[in-house]
Structure 1
């Protein structure tokens, strides 16, 4: 996960926390966190990067709507990141 941008990492967390969210679902959730509008030109290329890195899979809900789901590799990356973070954050 160390080669992901912070935005890509945040997208990964949003996806793992939802059940096969659409791109629009991801957009709405991330906009709530960032308190700013996220345009399609930023969102979808970053989602595609996560798919290309095999951290997320992309499927089709219908002809117009895709969904995103975490892969085992994506889950492993999140777990590794959380273990690394826990060294520095007293919980």
Structure 2
């Protein structure tokens, strides 16, 4: 996960919070957090990179809509990241 951009990590966290969200759902959530529009030219190449890295599975909801879901590697990466963060941030 240390090779990912902050944006890609944010995408992982959003995907983790849903059961197989569509790209549009991911986009809506990230736009709300960033308080700005996320264009498709930024979103989908980053989602594809997460798929290529093995952190995310991509499938079809219907002929026009894909879903995204964390793989076991994606879940492990988030868990490991959170453990690393907890060393430095005490709430």
- Give the TM-score range, shorter chain: over 0.9
Matched, 1:62 2:84: no
Equivalence map 1:3-82=2 (5 Å): 3-82=3-82
Work out the CA distance in 1 between the residues paired with 2:42 and 2:35.
15
User: Runs ≥4 in structure 1, deviation > 4 angstroms?
Assistant: none
In structure 2, stretches of 5+ residues that fail to align are none
CA positional deviation for 1:22? 0.1
Work out the CA distance in 1 between the residues paired with 2:70 and 2:24.
16
SS of residue in 2 equivalent to 1:12: helix
In structure 1, stretches of 5+ residues that fail to align are none
Cα RMSD, aligned residues only: 0.4
